[in-house]
Structure 1
Amino acid sequence: MTGQSITLQPVAHVIGGRVEPTDDYWGGTQAIIRINGSLFSTDSTKGLEEFSHLEVVFHFHLTDKSDLPLGARRPRDNPDWPEVGTFGHRNMRRLNWLGVSRCRLLKVDGLDLHVEDLDAVDGTPVLDIKPWFTDFGPRGLVHQPTWPTEMLSNYFAPRD
């Protein structure tokens, strides 16, 4: 199985919201996830308005593909935080350049999904959209080191 590649086709694109990816201040950012009308009809969004949140899988299309450190490094190059490996991060530097975001669903308008707090920028290819089921949330005790909480203290703060 190693070396096997896959081909993915975007199901939608992000319209509006932020135009540049940044590390913080995504709170209150509103955008539209516009589903591809040549592939999907409005039946594809039927019932989606009953959900408060979506889980969105997208491609980090604006990142520098040559910046791919696969070994351990410090989050945001902060010397106060420990070195962690590729799979100990959630940033864009991933072999397949995939992001996962959970955002609020504000409104369904045909094939336009109006969302808030989606940390993807205008033009981002969306690979999949799923309603958030609370039943798929973590089970059992959740724990993490302190550095992610410190690092993300302003992540969903409103942009001034």
Structure 2
Amino acid sequence: MTQRNFVLHPIGTVRSARSEPIDDGWDAVPARIELDPDQFAPEALFGLDSFSHAEIVFLFDQVPDEKIERGARHPRGNKDWPLIGIFAQRGKNRPNRIGVTVCRVLKVDGLSLHLEGLDAIDGTPVLDIKPVMEGFAPRGETAEPAWAQELMRGYWV
């Protein structure tokens, strides 16, 4: 397989009261994305406030190389949960360190996008913002194992 390299440039930065990647309680943490004023004008966010949710793509930039997982692990190190491949979970120790979260849009203010439910810490580089549209939501029913439901019990509250 031919390997290509890509250079990504952050479009903005997360501003949040949370500076540590604690696993739970993300809805209680106000967050905003500040777009880079050298790249964007406020018009880049025009119309986003007419959507209830946005999908935020960001970089887990504080994960050191030696913590990257390429195989399987127990989610959150919990041996009560099965050994799961890195691509069957959403942990931060991913090969390319990319995080994706669907957040509630609270408001747009100039170059700032205010959100609820962004599970990224202060200073996190943001790679992209996309509106959530029903047409891109899963078609049909979704399924997940019991361990995933247990893991998420306190994640947002």
Tell me the SS of whatever aligns to 2:96.
coil
Structure 1 partner of 2:9: 9
Q: Deviations over 1:8-31 (max 9, x none)?
A: 000010112311111111122111
Using the aligned pairs only, state the percent identity.
Answer: 45
1:92 is aligned to 2:92: yes
How many residues end up aligned between the 2 structures? 157
For 1:20 and 1:99, how far apart are their aligned partners in 2?
15
Q: Could you say what secondary structure the match of 2:72 adopts?
A: coil
Provide the residue aligned with 1:45 in structure 2: 45
Alignment of 1:28-67 (within 5 A): 28-67=28-67
Alignment partner of 1:78 is 2:39: no
Q: Secondary structure in 2 aligned to 1:66?
A: helix
Inter-partner Cα distance in structure 2 for 1:116 and 1:98: 19
How far is 1:2 from its partner? 3.6
3-state SS, counterpart of residue 91 of structure 2: coil
Secondary structure of the residue aligned to 1:91 is coil
Alignment partner of 1:120: what SS?
coil
In 1, Cα distance between the equivalents of 2:48 and 2:73? Answer: 39
SS in structure 1 at match of 2:84: coil
Corresponding residue number in structure 1 for 2:132: 132
Q: CA deviation at 1:106?
A: 0.6
117-126 or 26-35, which deviates more: 26-35
Is residue 52 of structure 2 the alignment partner of residue 68 of structure 1?
no
Distance 1:38 1:130 in 2: 20
State the secondary structure of the residue aligned to 1:7.
coil
CA–CA separation in structure 2 for the residues paired with 1:91 and 1:16 = 20
Higher helix share: 2
The CA deviation string for residues 41-84 of structure 1, in whole angstroms up to 9 with x for no partner, is: 11111111101111000000112221122112211121221111
Residue 5 of structure 1 and its aligned partner are, at CA, apart by 1.1
Corresponding residue number in structure 1 for 2:118 = 118
Q: Are residues 154 and 63 of structure 1, via their aligned partners in 2, closer, same or farther at CA, if it must alter by over 3 Å?
A: same
Provide the C-alpha distance between the structure 2 equivalents of 1:38 and 1:86, rounded to a whole number of angstroms: 36
> Following the alignment from structure 1 to structure 2, what is the Cα–Cα distance between the partners of residues 29 and 2?
42
TM-score, structure 2 as length reference: 0.95
Partners of 1:65 and 1:22 in 2: how far apart?
20
> Matched residues in 1 for 2:2 and 2:145: separation?
32
CA distance in 2, matches of 1:69, 1:100: 17
